[in-house]
Amino acid sequence: MAQRLSYEMPSFEWSNGRALIEMRQINKVFHSAAGAFTVLKGVDVDIYQGEFASVVGRSGSGKSTLVNMITGIDHPTSGTIRVADTVLNNMPEGKMSVWRGRNLGIVFQFFQLLPMLTLIENVMLPMDFCNMYPPAEREDRAMRLLQRVGLADLAHKLPAAVSGGQQQSAAVARALANDPPILIADEPTGNLDSRTAEEVLLLFEELVGQGKTILMVTHDSSLAQRTTRTLLISDGELVNDQVVRAFPTLPHERLLNLTHLARPHRFAPGEIVLPAGEEGTIVFIVSNGVLEAFQNGSARSLDAIQARFDPGQFIDPFALRREKGSRLGLRAAQEGPLELLVLDRESALTAVGGSDSGHWRMADPANVEPEIRKGWLSRLRRSR
């Protein structure tokens, strides 16, 4: 899989700042003789063009079911799925098959190559099915894709005549046959040796650099760390991205509990979040934008910025006061709006498992004057 090609791939442009993939209130219930079992519960997901997102979670958490909603292999019990301008709900299977072949490349854990076709014929099959590219060009394109994944010399072999890693590499080439804007990979390296798995990941990173959007299901945390974003599914629910970043070592069920406790709040550029004052009973996780900690200045009201906190950082006003002094305040940076997840400190510490901050990517925050603190707590209680 060493050789990389320089051919131009048709561009896929998605504009207006909208998500390329949008899932809203997705519920999935399976029915069996033992009764109903809910696999996905009110999942909301936005995936933007050019993202390389991993979907992680324990076995049975719903991660494969989630991506199957996008591929049309499975259908939600309720909720809406939109990819670009296409709503997938209730799309007839015949139309779905053609749409899927033109817009999605799918890499399965167990390859699913047709055993009676050679590798090059397997790669040509999506082009034939969707009538993509002139017939006279399809074999040459398939060969170039196999060359790209290091299989040109094996192009005319049947799948049974090559190794599992080579079959998976051929499956990646097949997924790219119609130059889809989105690649869905369900445990694509689960049956590969470490060298071949690394080559597959390098190819995925290259494709993302060319504008592709990749959603990869994996149980391997080291692979998830290679992606630009991680979607954690726990008990059928999506854990907030920034909660995962703030508490990377917490068990999944505690991360989900923190997601339930957190309440989003938005601040305009430069707006005060917490003025200097008494010790706080609220903690924060930065979702978007930059949070600044500032030291109250002299009589001339000069403010000195003591620290800046980015998305995924956890900020405890009590800890910040203890470290940097009581006259600190928090505000949104001037360069843009700020979004925070706000939690009651006592509830957050309980969810984390005590006051030990060993699990936390600790930032630090300020203190809250009594009336401000009461107002925040009142708003939190009303939003629960």
Task: Confirm whether 117 is domain-assigned.
Answer: yes
pTM score, whole prediction? 0.78
Cα 110–Cα 52–Cα 25 angle in degrees, nearest 5 = 85
Q: Tell me: do 111 and 225 sit in the same domain.
A: yes
Q: Which phi-psi region, left, alpha or beta, contains residue 354 (left: φ > 0; alpha: ψ -120 to 50)? A: left
Identify the residue whose tokens are 């949008």: 22
Tokens of 104: 């999605």
Tokens of 368: 């809250």
CA 372/CA 376 separation, integer angstroms: 6
Q: Tell me: do 201 and 85 sit in the same domain.
A: yes
Task: Confirm whether 12 is domain-assigned.
Answer: no
CB 176 within 8 A of CB 145: yes
Number of domains in the chain: 2
Tell me if residue 37 falls in helix, strand or coil: strand
Q: How confident is the model at residue 299 (pLDDT cuts 50, 70, 90)?
A: very low
Average pLDDT over residues 172-178: 92
Task: Confirm whether 5 is domain-assigned.
Answer: no
Question: What separation in angstroms does the CA of 127 have from each of 9, 88, 109, 165, 173?
Answer: 15, 22, 22, 23, 12
Contacts of residue 90, defined as CB under 8 A and 6 or more positions apart, other chains included, come to: none
CA 298/CA 296 separation, integer angstroms: 7
Range of the domain at 121: 21-239
Q: Tell me: do 193 and 286 sit in the same domain.
A: no
Residue type present at position 106: I
Tokens of 63: 């991660």
Rg of the chain over all Cα atoms, to the nearest angstrom? 25
Q: Domain ends where: 188, 214, 239?
A: 239
Task: Confirm whether 82 is domain-assigned.
Answer: yes
Tokens of 331: 């505000």
Task: Confirm whether 97 is domain-assigned.
Answer: yes
Of 74, 141, 82, 130, nearest in space to 102 by CA = 130
Identify the residue whose tokens are 């707590």: 377
Q: Domain ends where: 170, 205, 239?
A: 239
For residue 274, what pLDDT is reported?
A: 84
Query: Average pLDDT, whole number, for the chain?
Result: 81
Task: Confirm whether 244 is domain-assigned.
Answer: no
Q: Which phi-psi region, left, alpha or beta, contains residue 60 (left: φ > 0; alpha: ψ -120 to 50)? A: left
Q: Tell me: do 194 and 105 sit in the same domain.
A: yes
Q: Tell me: do 186 and 304 sit in the same domain.
A: no
Q: Tell me: do 212 and 342 sit in the same domain.
A: no
At 209-225, the pLDDT tens digits run: 988 999 999 888 888 88
Q: Tell me: do 334 and 266 sit in the same domain.
A: yes
Residue with the larger pLDDT of the pair 143 and 33: 143
Tokens of 4: 């990389």
For residue 61, what pLDDT is reported?
A: 86
Secondary structure percentages of the chain, helix, strand, coil, to 5: 35, 25, 40
Question: What separation in angstroms does the CA of 26 have from each of 46, 57, 122?
Answer: 12, 17, 33
Q: Is 336 exposed, middle or buried (0-12, 13-18, 19+ CB in 10 A)?
A: exposed
Q: Tell me: do 183 and 85 sit in the same domain.
A: yes
CA 102/CA 315 separation, integer angstroms: 45
CATH code for the domain of 273: 2.60.120.10
Give the rounded distance of the alpha carbon of 127 from its chain centre: 29
Q: Domain ends where: 182, 206, 239?
A: 239
Tell me if residue 59 falls in helix, strand or coil: coil
Average pLDDT over residues 137-162: 93
Q: Tell me: do 283 and 229 sit in the same domain.
A: no
CB 293 within 8 A of CB 370: no
Task: Confirm whether 245 is domain-assigned.
Answer: no
CA 339/CA 329 separation, integer angstroms: 17
Assess whether pLDDT exceeds 90 at residue 340.
yes
Q: Tell me: do 84 and 201 sit in the same domain.
A: yes
Average pLDDT over residues 139-147: 94
Q: Tell me: do 106 and 233 sit in the same domain.
A: yes
Identify the residue whose tokens are 């957190």: 262
Q: Tell me: do 210 and 321 sit in the same domain.
A: no
Assess whether pLDDT exceeds 50 at residue 130.
yes
